[in-house]
A and B are shown apart, each in its own frame.
Chain A
Amino acid sequence: DGGITQSPKYLFRKEGQNVTLSCEQNLNHDAMYWYRQDPGQGLRLIYYSQIVNDFQKGDIAEGYSVSREKKESFPLTVTSAQKNPTAFYLCASREMVFGYTFGSGTRLTVV
């Protein structure tokens, strides 16, 4: 089945630690996106990539980094510079006409 796989489902980060969230898709979609969702809030765009080896900052990119070396993969690194990383992180990919497909999300907690 085609879809987007995010891992891990739950992730715990210590203060000052970098962590990487995985996002893989087998939908052959060109564009991929990372969003952050805080409790009771909508989704805020962190980074997006419309083609391999290219990506752009979204509205809240500070403290995050991404890479897009393969069409199928768009990992997100939450760096120690992100002071409030506890949130629900969602990866999505886009088909040109019918909108975005989301992964099941990664819940990150600082311990």
Chain B
Amino acid sequence: QKEVEQNSGPLSVPEGAIASLNCTYSDRGSQSFFWYRQYSGKSPELIMFIYSNGDKEDGRFTAQLNKASQYVSLLIRDSQPSDSATYLCAVIPSNTGKLIFGQGTTLQVKP
């Protein structure tokens, strides 16, 4: 079982819709969770981090964490074509200094 798993997609949504990206992780003791956006050929950029169960909102982005289900998600409201990118879920497993990435989900927002 991979430490961090994502559906590689592509996930295609129309402009203005809500995009929902999902991620599961294997280490139940993980404490820190991150979502990065990566445009083709570029380095990842941090868009959200979450440490506590529940929702965290920042503009059009909402991160949701459910530690009991070992599940973290990212919602993007009012999706724009500029949101088209690969979204990487990343987790710091317990008692490590390592950030482990999923394989990423490609999002396509169609005008």
Enumerate chain A interface residues (CB-CB to B < 8 A): 31, 33, 35, 40-45, 48, 50, 56, 58, 90, 92, 94, 98-105
Tell me which residues across on chain A come within 8 A of B49, comparing CB atoms: 98-99
B99 within 8 A of A: yes
B99 engages A94 (CB within 8 Å): yes
Binding site for A on B (CB under 8 A): 4, 6, 8, 32, 34, 42-46, 49, 88, 90, 97-104
What is the bound-complex CA distance between A34 and B8, given in angstroms? Answer: 23
13 contacting pairs across A/B (C-beta < 8 A): A42-B6, A42-B88, A42-B101, A43-B44, A43-B88, A43-B101, A94-B97, A99-B32, A99-B34, A100-B99, A101-B46, A105-B42, A105-B43
| Option from A90, A94, A98 in Cβ contact (under 8 Å) with B44 | A90
| A35 to B99 alpha-carbon distance, docked (Å) | 10
Secondary structure call for the A interface:
strand
Q: Among the interface residues B88, B98, B104, which one has the most CB atoms of the partner chain A within 10 A?
A: B98
The residues of A that contact B6 with a CB separation of less than 8 Å are: 42
Q: A41-B104, A102-B45, A105-B43 provided; 15 other pairs, C-beta below 8 A? A: A40-B8, A42-B4, A42-B102, A42-B103, A43-B44, A43-B88, A44-B101, A45-B99, A45-B100, A48-B97, A92-B99, A102-B43, A104-B42, A104-B43, A105-B42
| A90-B102 in contact given A31-B97, A43-B88 (Cβ < 8 Å) | no
Cβ of A35 to closest chain B Cβ, rounded Å: 8
What separation, in Å, do the CA atoms of A43 and B86 have in the docked complex? Answer: 12
